[in-house]
Amino acid sequence: MEYRTLGRTGIKVSPYALGTLMYATRMGNEPAESARIIHKALDAGINFLDTADTYGDSEEVVGQALKGRRDDVVLATKFGLPTGEGPNHRGTSRRWITTAVENSLRRLQTDHIDVYQIQRLDPTTDIEETLSALTDLIRSGKVRAIGSSTTPASDIVEAQWVAERRNLERFHTEQPPYSLLNRGIEREVLPVVQRYNMGVMAWGPLGQGMLTGRVRKNQENDLSRAGFFKHLNDERRIDVVEQLIPLAEEAGMPMTHLAMAFTIAHPAVTSALAGARTMAHLDDLLAGLDVHLSDDLLDRIDAIVPPGTDVGALDQDYLPLAIQNANLRRRPVGERAAA
């Protein structure tokens, strides 16, 4: 395994990382089987695991699996999305951060989190408030590094400026969506994180299953998530997959290997997060560790999905308030006319 440095942190991580959403028992896995998958990944040299407090009981499953092996793992988790019905059981306020981190530490059965990330920005909380609370967690030793996820480039820049002006910890990492189908972050997000020397943990490198070879045109989609994610049934995305499959076949590799190798080929990307739900999925992932893509193959991918473009939109994309709330982009009715 060739380890990479996670931004400016000095932490060495594997280019393939394990996303652990699929180890929540509600996703169909038994904790014992999830532990076996995690242990095999660690034995193969994968040392980077990512979870979140909204992934059902994933944190508990991961914490149990890492008993006796915690020091070998770079452990990342996330907070910010709702974990309960109460209005304060979410967000990035100091009040919630100090509660959420203790909950995650307890579930993970550890005394520190290596990378603690905002799962989505909270527009109702000032970024200085958030960075101040996260800085205190680093100074207390409960957190080693901090990051954000699915963040627009302008907000990444603002957070960096606020941290510098207020002498607070800067975000060390960003976790954006990135795959053969979603390359929009190549325009601004990836250049910005390179400018600030941030580590990048890309989520969705297999397109939530679309790039596994299991989703084909005019064939039944058997992905369990297809029932509630619209982008998994997007005909435009399926048409592009049909163009990518022959490239993988010509190169003599499965689509999964093409997709993972593409994601980690970008110089800004530190690791690609893959959710291996079964041992077979993990075995396939490990079989592609040595795959590298030629310039010619990358050029042919560019011709199908141009750099800096997305094929459709992901359901989990970050939507700013100006897009969510129509009143923020419409003047009152009486003020809309020019005369």
Residue 274 β-bridge partners:
18
Q: What does the alpha-carbon distance between residue 69 and residue 283 come to, in Å, rounded to a whole number? A: 21
Q: Which residues contact 222 (CB under 8 A, 6 or more apart)?
A: 214
Q: Is residue 145 within 8 Å of 174, Cβ to Cβ?
A: no
Q: What does the alpha-carbon distance between residue 215 and residue 293 come to, in Å, rounded to a whole number? A: 23
Q: What does the alpha-carbon distance between residue 67 and residue 64 come to, in Å, rounded to a whole number? A: 6
Half-sphere exposure of 277 (CA within 13 A, CB side): 15
Catalytic residue among 55, 116, 196, 318: 55
Exposed/middle/buried for 99, CB within 10 Å: 0-12, 13-18, 19+?
middle
Q: Which residues contact 281 (CB under 8 A, 6 or more apart)?
A: 275
Q: What does the alpha-carbon distance between residue 118 and residue 54 come to, in Å, rounded to a whole number? A: 12
116 an active-site residue?
Answer: no
Q: What does the alpha-carbon distance between residue 338 and residue 315 come to, in Å, rounded to a whole number? A: 37
Q: Is residue 304 within 8 Å of 239, Cβ to Cβ?
A: no
Catalytic residues, by residue number, are: 55
